[in-house]
Amino acid sequence: MKRIISILLENESGALSRVVGLFAQRGYNIDTLTVAPTDDDTLSRLTLTTQSDDQMAEQIVKQLHKLIDTIKVVDLTVGSHIERELMLVKIKASDAEVRAELKSCVEIFRGHVVDVTASTYTVQLTGDSDKLDAFIDAVREIGIMEVVRTGVSGIARGDKFLRV
Amino acid sequence: MEHLSGGEIVICALKDAGVKHVWGYPGGAALHIYDALYRQEDVEHLLVRHEQAAVHAADGFSRATGEVGTALVTSGPGATNAITGIATAYMDSIPLVVISGQVPKIKIGQDAFQETDMVGVSRPIVKHSFLVTQAEDIAETIAKAYYIASTGRPGPVVVDIPKDVTDPNYKVPYEWPANIKMRSYQPTNKGHRGQLKRAVKTLLSAKKPVIYSGGGVILDNASDQLIELAQRLNYPVTNTLMGLGAYPATDRQFIGMLGMHGTYEANTAMHESDVIFAVGARFDDRVTNDLDKFCPHATIIHIDVDPTSISKNINAHIPVVGTCTSVLNEMLSIADDMATEPDAEAIKDWWARIDQWRADKGIYTANRYEPSVGDIIKPQDAIKALYKATDGNAYVTSDVGQHQMFAAQYYLFDKPRRWINSGGLGTMGFGLPAAMGVQLAFPDAQVACVTGEGSIQMCIQELSTCSQYNLPVKIINLNNSALGMVRQWQDMNYSSRYSQSLYEDSLPDFVALAEAYGHVGMKVTRYEDLEEKMRECFALKDRTVFMDICVDKSEHVYPMQIPGGAMGDLFLNKSEKT
Ligand SMILES: Cc1ncc(C[n+]2csc(CCOP(=O)(O)OP(=O)(O)O)c2C)c(N)n1
Ligand SMILES: [Mg+2]
């Protein structure tokens, strides 16, 4: 099952490579990974998604916690949470009919066209991963030139928060 | 406040961390540090002949004393040579600080001469690592390194220092940090009280209990607590290869080592048990045999300081995270409060069964191997002779192979920190440098390195270090003219096709070799001479002695777990299984 794991990490050189290395070393896979400093720039917030059963997820969380640079680790999938990903897609759009079709598609998915040329549309979309996947399926026939996804960022719903 | 250069700070920080000995080897990137070392007397440096040995020696020192071991190497080849030593310490959770020189910061990434990304190369085999980027950070980094190495689950920490950071011309104020606090690192010490109560209750209600203790008990100096608990309950105790000595081997309640080459009684008792009390042990694959067949009737209580060790291989019914000492102390006091006693009848019956297993197939109730005679010396008898000559009091380091297993089986360790071997990584070449580290820590103690002619050649150059520092270790070479453990597997699994495990005609004359280094060489070819030669060897208190014992080439280590079987499924000798 898909897991979304949130990590609060010291914003230090080498810290990220230890997280990534751990996954390679222990044979866990990483599907997506996002990382950036938080409001406190001595800290990085990392979200990663991986496929694993309960037992493996427990080991992953424990192993991540064991890294000296990690401050907090949570498997967001255990509780209710919000998941967001941003995607930019460049799509072939030279004739008017296609442009119109694309536009309505973008509207349905609540995206934005953020760049236009005579032959292309660049679309920005945010949402959970399933929604982005669905958009790709919807426009695949039209002709996708390039896809860039940020990977998932996640946060718990309600009063829970991850902070030092 | 004192103003010091980076190089001087490294040495001062080591001194302030309580370090008295550093094992190492110089080179370009470390020369500022070596120069600072030259100008002081607080920290003694021991020059090895290969960086791997520096780390093993620091490791042996740590295992024998419980203190953090320290090694110092240069960049590039110095650093990569240290890797096997670091990995060895990592697998056995040994606290070490390894300081490596690095090329100057501006050259990092330029493929500079002797540049290796040490932090990167060592990443999977360290507890933590640091790249120090300015002289101002050295003291705190070194203080953190010792703190991290020695707390929680111990392990090696690498501190990589670029040459410009140790520049003798750049001086900064030096202050040793009084205490270290890290928001991201706060190891758990005390077990959860509720879990501990459940653990005690379950333990007291057992009818067929086994106490299974590992290296964690030794690392945390919890042997006394283990003994107290075990004796108060009158429960059988088995130790892992890493845990030998935590419970006295000559005590009646000790049922021997468990696992791949463990005793019949220990492995069978584990398999039949209803409660396993695992403390400081990690259900390693060399213990469990096939996980699906592992101890089908047992409720498992698992104590470990490292949460990742719990329920990694075997699901624990009652997990407790905490240090062995604090958890065992707590459990003893909870047991006092509960005022429940174990089921004496059941325990008596359990002991009757265990005693029967011992009598039937145990290796301590009868010789389960052919007797030595004339020029056939059984390796088991060589270990027994060693035990006798040293009154069971020696520090014994070992290499890896059959000789290691014979030493683990036949040298009966009654005290912790006496048996020093590379259990997790299985590093041939560990024994001699580790013995040097032990001898340095205890100059008057008897230190034996049980080795094989294969393993000893992986760090034989250290005979020179033994001369330089007068380290009178006794090398007990069980010479079977082969990579014996490999050959045993080839006998058992490859129809005796000895692919690359033989080299009989090209072995050196070990006696002459020892003498070439200025040591005493002795050769034993006849069983009648064994005991006396062994006594002679240990009578040479001030000399390094290389004792080359020609042992039976065809011998196998038994018992041996049958691959794919349960814990208690064993080969008992070449023709008999359980
Ligand atoms: C560095 C290293 N290389 C290879 C091995 C694999 N190995 C394990 S035991 C062994 C044979 C050891 O031979 P020897 O030291 O003569 O001991 P014996 O088994 O003959 O007692 C080998 C090659 C190892 N453990 N370590
Ligand atoms: Mg051999």
| pLDDT band with cut points at 50, 70 and 90 for residue B339 | confident
Beta carbon of B454 within 6 Å of any ligand 1 atom: yes
A residues 55-74 lying closer than 8 A (beta carbon) to B: 55, 58-59, 62-63, 65-66, 68-71
Beta carbon of B452 within 6 Å of any ligand 1 atom: yes
CA separation, residue B493 to residues A159, B289, B490 (Å) = 60, 17, 5
B563 domain residue, yes or no: no
Q: Is B185 on the interface with A (CB under 8 A)?
A: yes
pLDDT attached to residue B25: 98
Beta carbon of B66 within 6 Å of any ligand 1 atom: no
Are A14 and B131 in contact (CB < 8 Å)? yes
**Pair B331, B479 in one domain:** no
Are A21 and B119 in contact (CB < 8 Å)? no
B444 domain residue, yes or no: yes
**Pair B417, B524 in one domain:** yes
**Pair B101, B153 in one domain:** yes
Interface test with B, best of A66, A71, A73, A163 (most B CBs within 10 A): A66
Are A14 and B129 in contact (CB < 8 Å)? yes
Q: Is B238 on the interface with A (CB under 8 A)?
A: no
Q: Is the pLDDT of residue B331 over 90?
A: yes
Beta carbon of B453 within 6 Å of any ligand 1 atom: yes
**Pair B22, B160 in one domain:** yes
Question: B409, B455, B553, B557: which to mutate for ligand 1, most atoms within 8 A of CB?
Answer: B455
Quote the ligand 1 centre to B88 CA distance (angstroms).
15
pLDDT tens per residue, range B125-172:
999 999 999 999 999 999 999 999 999 999 999 999 999 999 999 999
Q: Which member of B120, B131, B308 has the closest CB to residue A66? A: B308
B179 domain residue, yes or no: no
**Pair B128, B257 in one domain:** no
Q: What CATH number has the domain bearing residue B476? A: 3.40.50.970
pLDDT tens per residue, range B449-489:
999 999 999 999 999 999 999 999 999 999 999 999 999 99
Give B473-498 as a 3 state SS string: CEEEEEECCECHHHHHHHHHHCCCCC
What is the average per-residue pLDDT within B250-257?
98
Question: B480, B483, B510: which to mutate for ligand 1, most atoms within 8 A of CB?
Answer: B483
Q: What CATH number has the domain bearing residue B331? A: 3.40.50.1220
If DSSP codes are grouped into helix, strand and coil, which group holds residue B469?
Answer: coil
DSSP per position, B58-69: HHHHHHHHSSPE
Q: Which two tokens stand for residue B116?
A: 């290796």
Are A68 and B131 in contact (CB < 8 Å)? no
**Pair B412, B548 in one domain:** yes
First to last CA, chain A: 29
Q: Which member of A18, A59, A66 has the closest CB to residue B123? A: A18
Residue keyed to tokens 């220092």: B161
For ligand 1, atom 2: residue with the closest CA: B428
pLDDT attached to residue A74: 96
H or E, element range at B31: helix B31-38
Beta carbon of B168 within 6 Å of any ligand 1 atom: no
Residue keyed to tokens 């690359």: B500
Residues forming a β-bridge with B72: B24, B99
pLDDT attached to residue B576: 95
Q: Which atom of ligand 1 is nearest to the CA of B426?
A: 25
Of residues A54, A48, A42, A4, the one with CA closest to residue A22: A48
Q: Closest chain A residue to B157 measured between Cα atoms?
A: A68
Positions of B marked active-site: 51, 113-114, 163, 485
Burial of residue B444 (number of CB atoms within 10 Å: 0-12, 13-18, 19+): exposed
Q: pLDDT below 50 — which residues of chain A?
A: none
Q: Is A53 on the interface with B (CB under 8 A)?
A: no
B572 domain residue, yes or no: no
Q: Which member of A9, A14, A59 has the closest CB to residue B308? A: A59
Q: Is the pLDDT of residue B255 over 90?
A: yes
User: Which of B327, B361, B395 lies at the terminal end of a domain, its last residue?
Assistant: B361
**Pair B161, B37 in one domain:** yes
**Pair B397, B339 in one domain:** no
Contacts of B311 in chain A (CB under 8 A): 55, 58
Of residues B390, B446, B466, the one with CA closest to residue B57: B466
What is the average per-residue pLDDT within B537-554?
98
Q: What is the largest CA-CA distance in chain B?
A: 76
**Pair B304, B397 in one domain:** no
**What is the value of ipTM here, to two decimals?**
0.94
**Pair B31, B115 in one domain:** yes
Q: Where in chain A is the domain with CATH 3.30.70.1150?
A: 82-153
| pLDDT band with cut points at 50, 70 and 90 for residue B1 | confident
Q: Is the pLDDT of residue B324 over 90?
A: yes
Q: Where in chain A is the domain with CATH 3.30.70.260?
A: 2-79
Beta carbon of B482 within 6 Å of any ligand 1 atom: yes
B107 domain residue, yes or no: yes
Q: Residue B507, Cβ neighbours under 10 Å: how many?
A: 14
Beta carbon of B478 within 6 Å of any ligand 1 atom: yes
| pLDDT band with cut points at 50, 70 and 90 for residue B356 | very high
Q: Which ligand is nearest to the CA of B481?
A: 2
What is the average per-residue pLDDT within B7-23?
98
CA A113 to chain centre: 20
What b/e string do you get for B259-283 counting C-beta neighbours within 10 Å, with b at 16 or more? bbbbbbbbbbbbbbbbbbbbbbbbb
pLDDT attached to residue B188: 84
β B69-73/B21-24 pair status: parallel
Q: Which ligand is nearest to the CA of B456?
A: 1
Peptide bond between residue B559 and the one before it cis (omega within 30 degrees of 0): yes
Number of domains chain B is built from? 3
Residue pair B562/B265 in contact (Cβ under 8 Å)? The answer is no
Q: Is the pLDDT of residue B203 over 90?
A: yes
The HSE-up count of residue B410 (CA atoms within 13 Å, CB side) is 26
What is the average per-residue pLDDT within B387-407?
98
Are B124 and A66 in contact (CB < 8 Å)? no
H or E, element range at B549: strand B545-550
The CATH architecture assigned to A2-79 reads 2-Layer Sandwich (3.30)
Number of H helices, E strands in chain A: 4, 9
Q: Is the pLDDT of residue B61 over 90?
A: yes
β A81-92/A153-156 pair status: antiparallel
Domain that holds residue B523: 379-557
Identify residues whose C-beta is under 5 A from ligand 2, the ion. B 452, 454, 480, 484
| Mean pLDDT across chain A | 95
Quote the ligand 2 centre to B400 CA distance (angstroms).
9
Q: Is A25 on the interface with B (CB under 8 A)?
A: yes
Are B123 and A68 in contact (CB < 8 Å)? no
pTM of the model: 0.97
Q: Is the pLDDT of residue B82 over 90?
A: yes
Q: What are the φ/ψ torsions at residue B151 (nearest 5 degrees)?
A: -110, 170
The topology under which CATH files domain A82-153 is Alpha-Beta Plaits (3.30.70)
Q: Closest chain B residue to A13 measured between Cα atoms?
A: B131
What is the average per-residue pLDDT within B235-259?
98
Q: What are the φ/ψ torsions at residue B344 (nearest 5 degrees)?
A: -60, -40
Question: B400, B449, B458, B557: which to mutate for ligand 1, most atoms within 8 A of CB?
Answer: B400
Contacts of B307 in chain A (CB under 8 A): 62, 65-66
Distance, in angstroms, between B387 CA and closest chain A CA?
Answer: 41
B83 domain residue, yes or no: yes
DSSP per position, A95-122: SHHHHHHHHHHHHHTT-EEEEE-SSEEE
The residues, ordered by sequence, that sit 6+ positions from B231 with a Cβ below 8 Å of its Cβ are B253
Q: How many CB pairs under 8 A join A and B?
A: 34
Q: Show the CA angle centred on residue B562, arms to residues B561 and B568, nearest 5°.
A: 55
B490 domain residue, yes or no: yes
Q: Closest chain A residue to B185 measured between Cα atoms?
A: A68
B residues 92-151 lying closer than 8 A (beta carbon) to A: 119-120, 123-124, 127-129, 131, 148
DSSP per position, B113-154: TT---HHHHHGGG-SEEEE--SGGGHHHHHHHHHHHHHSSS-
The HSE-up count of residue B53 (CA atoms within 13 Å, CB side) is 24
B78 domain residue, yes or no: yes
For ligand 1, atom 1: residue with the closest CA: B428
**Pair B316, B387 in one domain:** no
Pure H helices in B205-323: 215-219, 223-233, 264-272, 285-288
